[in-house]
Amino acid sequence: MTYYIYHIPGIKIGCTTDLRRAKDQSNSYELLETHTDIVLAGDRELELQAKYGYPIDKVHYSQTFRFTSKGGQQNQQASVWNNYTDEERKERINSQRIMHIRGGKKSSSYERTCPHCGLTSKGNGIKRWHFDNCKQKKVTN
């Protein structure tokens, strides 16, 4: 199956398997990329949305594609996910989505160490609150 990433200038970047969807939204769209891997297509959609300055989708394309609007039944075309376990699917989608949203850092599992006292902690709290207020920080005037 082919996944198309399209751009409607000034409006959005989207991903679809049917280019008629892009034509329905606007007559002036441009085809940016084509992919055969749904996860790669979803990843690139998020990257391009960030690059062009559009709002970034909160749900990965592979997740929205996976379910139809009729009662959440699994879409038969999403059989690519049969190659992955549930754990692998969640990890692959969430890690990529978090990387895009947080600018390349997984803050919840990203470990930071204070350069002044060596205190180590996960997340952004240590950077925000401890680094500047560390009692072992040398003040330079």
What is the value of pTM for the model shown? 0.48
- pLDDT at position 13 is 92
**79-114 residue pLDDT tens:** 455 566 777 767 766 666 555 555 555 445 567 788
Q: How far is CA 104 from CA 6, 50, 99, 107, 109, in A?
A: 24, 12, 4, 9, 12
Residue 95 has a CB neighbour count (10 Å cut-off) of 12
For the chain, what are the domain ranges? 3-101, 107-141
